[in-house]
Amino acid sequence: MTGMGSMIEARGLKRTYKARGKAIEAVRGIDLTVQHGEIVGFLGPNGAGKTTTLKMLCTLLEPTGGSATVAGSDLRQDSVGVRRKIGYVSQAGSTSPEAVVGEEIMSHAQFYGIDRATAKQRGQDLLASLDLSDVWGRTCGSLSGGQRRRLDIVMGLIHKPALVFLDEPSTGLDPQSRANLWTHIRKLRDELGTTVFLTTHYMDEADSLSDRILIIDNGTIVAEGTPAELKKRVSGDAITLTLRNEPDAASAAEIAGKLDGADAPVVDAHVVRLHVPDGGRALPLLLAELTRAGIDAIGVDVNRPTLDDVFLTLTGRSLRDQEI
Partner 1 sequence: MYFFRDTWIVFSRSMRLSLRQPLWVLIGLLQPILYLTLFGPLLQNIAASSGFVGDAWQVFVPGLLVQLGIFGGLFVGFGIIAEWRSGVIERQLVTPASRTSIITGRTLRDVVVISVQAIVLVGAAYLLGLRVPAGALIIGLVLVALLGAAFSFISNAIGIATKSEDALAPLVNTLALPILLLSGILLPMNIAPRWLQIASDFNPFKHIVEALRAVFRGDFADPIVWIGVVLAIALVVLGAWMGSRTLSAQTK
Binding residues vs partner 1 (CB under 8 A): 58-62, 79-80, 83-84, 86, 88, 90, 92-100, 103-104, 107-108, 110-112, 152, 155
What is the Rg, in whole angstroms, of the alpha carbon atoms belonging to the chain?
24
Closest CA to 136 of 106, 98, 101: 101
The nearest distance, CB 185 to partner 1, in angstroms, is: 18
Q: How far apart are CA 17 and CA 76, in angstroms?
A: 18
The nearest distance, CB 94 to partner 1, in angstroms, is: 4
| Residue with smaller CB distance to partner 1, 57 or 216 | 57
The nearest distance, CB 84 to partner 1, in angstroms, is: 5
How is residue 306 annotated by DSSP? P
| Residue with smaller CB distance to partner 1, 114 or 216 | 114
| Residue with smaller CB distance to partner 1, 98 or 268 | 98
The nearest distance, CB 14 to partner 1, in angstroms, is: 15
The nearest distance, CB 187 to partner 1, in angstroms, is: 22
| Residue with smaller CB distance to partner 1, 63 or 227 | 63
SS3 284: helix
| Residue with smaller CB distance to partner 1, 56 or 253 | 56
The strand pair at 271-276 and 266-268 is best described as antiparallel
The nearest distance, CB 45 to partner 1, in angstroms, is: 23
* Ranges of H-type helices in the chain: 50-57, 79-85, 101-110, 116-129, 145-157, 175-192, 203-209, 227-232, 246-256, 279-292, 307-315
User: How many beta carbons lie within 10 A of that of residue 264, not counting itself?
Assistant: 9
| Residue with smaller CB distance to partner 1, 37 or 93 | 93
The strand pair at 195-200 and 297-303 is best described as unpaired
